[in-house]
Amino acid sequence: MSPAAVSTRLACAGRVLDLSHPQVMGILNVTPDSFSDGGRFLALDNALRHAEAMVIAGATLVDVGGESTRPGALKISDEEELQRVAPVIEAIAARLDVVVSVDTSSPAVIRESARLGAGLVNDVRALQRDGALQAAAETGLPVCLMHMRGEPQTMQQLTHYEYLLAEVHDFLQLRIRACEAAGIPAGKIVLDPGFGFAKTQEQNLSLFKHLDCLQKLGRPLLVGVSRKSMIGAVLGREAKDRLCGSLALAALATTCGVGILRVHDVAETLDVVRMVGAVMAAR
């Protein structure tokens, strides 16, 4: 897999990320029911300590999410989501030198998170919820658009594709055009293939193998596979024991020119990125 040439600088509310090499995004779920770490960081002090530890380990982004999107997860109200994420976003933005990403589909949460200091909108629904596209455009922030079908409650019933790669490509291309029409330029867009979202195990593996097909869209890619079930299915390990599989996929993504790796284990992933980068840069 060989990376295609894409623009590599992403301006995020006063900070600029260089995506010519992978940036590591640390995951901070302030939810009671996320698949890997649900409930661990509901208290503000715990969330802030974890964010600080990830920044010290080398994360350049911290992705704060208040709504679980694991298969079967239930939707929550905007008010409940804001109660979870707003204090955390505000505290991190005020105290840590890092881009705060908000993992949300809610227009209200998008607007308030931007006001509190978020620098990136990361939406698993690719800004398709009513009002989300307009809200994101109003903030002026960059956005990450992910491929998914349906909702978390239904997505694993929607895994039939005639041509998986082409359909994921075409969906993301249409969402790029929708963003541009709403006033979000292509230079502010990152794309996420959506591993584990409306995809079978074989489809996840095939999509990963052919990531270079999505590079043709000309936008940086975000890959989020840390501790996911696609690793568990291959290795037969529970979420807490999937570090080696997660790092193997991080190495493969790095060779493919991925711009952002969304992970639980920041220090270990950075070691992989640096080692792979050193080999790739050697004469």
Q: Is the pLDDT of residue 5 over 80?
A: no
Distance separating alpha carbons of residues 3 and 255, to the nearest angstrom: 8
Q: Return the pLDDT at 2.
A: 41
Contact 183, 175 (CB under 8 A): no
Summarize the confidence of residues 147-167 as an average pLDDT: 94
Residues catalogued as catalytic? 228, 262
CATH topology of domain 22-281: TIM Barrel (3.20.20)
Going by pLDDT thresholds of 50, 70 and 90, the confidence category of residue 1 is: very low
For residues 237-265, average pLDDT: 97
Residue 11 has pLDDT above 60, yes or no: yes
State the Rg of the chain over Cα: 17
* Least confident interval from 68-72, 102-106, 144-148, 262-266: 68-72
Asked whether the whole model's pTM tops 0.85, one would answer: yes
Banded pLDDT at 7 (limits 50, 70, 90)? low
Please give the average per-residue pLDDT across 183-212, as a whole number: 97
Percent of the chain with pLDDT over 70: 94
The gap between the terminal CA atoms of the chain, to the nearest Å, is: 19
- The domain ranges of the chain are 22-281
Residues 276, 94: Cα–Cα separation, whole Å: 33
